[in-house]
Amino acid sequence: MKWLNEIVLETDLVKLIPLRPEHRNELVAAAADGNLWELWFTSVPSEATIDAYLSKAFADFENDTALPFAVVDKRENKIIGTTRFANVVSEHRRVEIGYTWYAKSYQKTYVNSECKFLLLQYAFEELKAIAVEFRTNWYNFPSRNAIARLGAKQDGVLRNHQIMANGSYRDTVVFSIIESEWKACKTALLYKIEQIHQPK
């Protein structure tokens, strides 16, 4: 029996919907907001790589090792990025939140906090995960800072973890939130979201 099943998660402002092949062009358009694929330390898809990117997401879902979402801005009713549960080990109830990116105009807004809250809440309260992991490139300092702000602790660095497309070696920084930390993390995240929505 599959552990990961398609689900819609939403707040008043964002909605996470199951990723579909028909989201292809909207994702390419979202990634073009900031030419995100040009960031060498990320794996944001371009027109040239989107089909392989989607194929991997769907294959991993069928294998019960991923649950991919498209991120929808409810105010404009448009897809602005993607995220997923990845590298899932169901027998140990562990998931990673990864493959996350948003159109540049939505970065450093309420979007990431709300998406991460939805995913973490679902992982800990519905999937009964015992740990949620985050991984990022050593050089992706904005991502490392954003993960730490969620309340995740750094577990360590996997050195020479991957070979990049240009032949360079990637050091991967690993963070996690464990089951016993979720209550405090949830309180902090909800407070942060409330502060973001306070009138300036």
**How far is Cα 95 from Cα 98, in angstroms, rounded to an integer?**
9
Each residue's pLDDT tens digit, 39-51:
655 678 888 899 9
In whole angstroms, how far apart are CA 177 and each of 11, 22, 39, 50?
A: 22, 33, 27, 30
SS3 content of the chain, % helix, strand, coil (to 5): 40, 30, 30
Q: Does the predicted model carry a pTM greater than 0.85?
A: yes
CA dist., res. 63 & res. 154, Å (int): 28
Domain chopping of the chain, boundaries: 9-196
Instruction: Name, in order, each residue with C-beta under 8 angstroms of 72's C-beta and a sequence gap of 6 or more.
Output: 14, 15, 16, 17, 78, 79, 80
**How do residues 110-140 score in pLDDT, each as one tens digit?**
899 999 999 999 999 999 999 999 999 999 8
9-196: CATH superfamily: Gcn5-related N-acetyltransferase (GNAT) (3.40.630.30)
* Structure-model confidence comparison of residues 123 and 198, the more confident one: 123
